[in-house]
């Protein structure tokens, strides 16, 4: 009987041509995954990219990494110079395969190389258990406003050894 193949995951740096793909992953992850934790009105307010050119500039403004599965981008994350992990989004069809784990390991490695002492993020209700599993602690629960809707999330951080 053939053994099931492990998912072939790898990481590569974001390139300008990846803007549309990262927008698609961002929107799908919110609409199909985070939607279990927020109201439809909140999801509508969050799952929007008003200007793809602004998105592209924003992504290119800090290190951003793509997770690749069998040749296709399936998730992305980033790290600002002060240690903020701003984005962690995984395509709905690739949840639970270790994609975010690999992205976070990449972010933490980069942070260590930059001698950052901590990585911090604002985690959604959906992502909080993932970050807790990875050693982040909640600093504060908060609400943020997106296009007139108020969404709960958590300021979280992880100190790097
Ligand atoms: C949160 C998210 C990034 C996790 O991605 P993922 O690739 O499925 O995560 P992984 O497969 O690497 O999971 C790693 C660990 O976290 C756990 N985990 C992930 N999501 C979890 C959840 N919602 N609840 C409980 N545990 C969770 C996994 O069980 C796994 O644990 P293990 O190491 O014991 O096996 C993904 O669900 C997502 O894109 N969510 C929607 C978008 C979002 O809210 N992004 C964050 C914005 S701040």
Show pLDDT as tens, one digit a residue, over the chain (161 residues): 344 445 689 999 999 999 999 999 999 999 999 999 999 999 999 999 999 999 999 999 999 999 999 999 999 999 999 999 999 999 999 999 999 999 999 999 999 999 999 999 999 999 999 999 999 999 999 999 999 999 999 999 999 98
Domain of residue 61 covers 9-117
Answer yes or no: is 85 within a domain.
yes
Which atom of ligand 1 is found nearest the CA of 97? 11
Tokens 């490695």 identify what position? 109
Number of domains in the chain: 1
- Residue 36 maps to a domain: yes
Instruction: Say if 143 falls within a structural domain.
Output: no
In a domain, 135, yes or no: no
Provide the CATH number for the domain around residue 107.
3.40.630.30
Work out whether the CA dihedral 98, 69, 11, 121 comes out positive or negative.
negative
Global model pTM greater than 0.85: yes
Inside any domain, residue 122: no
| Ligand 1 centroid to residue 77 C-alpha, Å | 13
Instruction: Annotate 139-155 with b (16+ C-beta within 10 A) or e (fewer).
Output: eeeeeeeeeebebebbe
6 lines ligand 1 (CB under 6 A): no
* Residue 44 near residue 86 (C-beta atoms within 8 A): no
Is 43 in contact with 87 (CB distance < 8 Å)? no
């Amino acid at each position: 009987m053939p053994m099931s193949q492990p998912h072939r995951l790898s990481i590569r740096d974001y390139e300008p041509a990846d803007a549309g793909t990262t927008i698609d992953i961002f929107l799908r992850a919110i609409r199909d995954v985070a939607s279990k934790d927020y109201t439809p009105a909140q999801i509508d307010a969050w799952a929007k990219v008003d200007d793809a050119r602004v998105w592209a500039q924003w992504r290119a403004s800090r290190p951003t990494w793509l997770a690749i599965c069998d040749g296709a981008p399936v998730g992305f994350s980033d790290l600002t110079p002060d240690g903020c992990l701003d984005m962690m989004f995984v395509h709905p069809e690739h949840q639970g395969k270790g994609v975010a784990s690999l992205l976070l390991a990449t972010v933490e490695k980069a942070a260590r190389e930059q001698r950052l002492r901590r990585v911090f993020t604002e985690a959604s209700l959906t992502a909080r258990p993932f970050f807790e599993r990875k050693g982040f602690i909640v600093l504060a629960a908060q609400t943020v406003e997106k296009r007139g809707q108020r969404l709960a999330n958590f300021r979280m951080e992880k100190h790097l050894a």
